Amino acid sequence: MTENEVQNLGDKIIGVLKEIYDPEIPVDIYELGLIYDVLVNEDNEAKILMTLTSPNCPVAETLPVEVEEKVKTLPEIKNAEVEITFDPPWSQDLMSEEAKLELGFL
């Protein structure tokens, strides 16, 4: 895959991530700053490094599965894996300007 194709695929994955919402906050998980990294290898396998708003998040069991399943719906992706990390811990500083505006923090 060319660098441009990898970039396009990364953009498609981000598009899918922007369709997934935190159930407690009316902002998608990408704008919320829960996605730390999106990696795609030469075999078109995606790895998403993400966090949750807290370790006790009520969707800790279901949200990573939802992310994997939705990314796997992209025809170019052969497999998707989500890794959860709390390093660094999530904070409101990680939210996009759009998310802060949506939630009235600006």
Print pLDDT tens along the chain (106 aa).
778 887 889 899 999 999 999 888 889 999 999 999 999 998 999 999 999 998 888 888 999 999 999 999 999 999 999 999 999 999 999 999 999 999 998 8
DSSP bridge partners of 79:
45
Reading the block at residue 86, the tokens are 């709390």
Could you tell me the residue ranges of all domains in the chain?
A: 3-95
Fold of 3-95: GMP Synthetase; Chain A, domain 3 (3.30.300)
* DSSP state, residue 45: E
Tell me which H or E stretch contains 72: helix 63-72
3-class DSSP state for residue 74?
Answer: coil
* DSSP state, residue 53: S
pTM for the structure as a whole: 0.91
Residue 90 CA: distances (Å) to CA of 11, 44, 96: 23, 28, 13
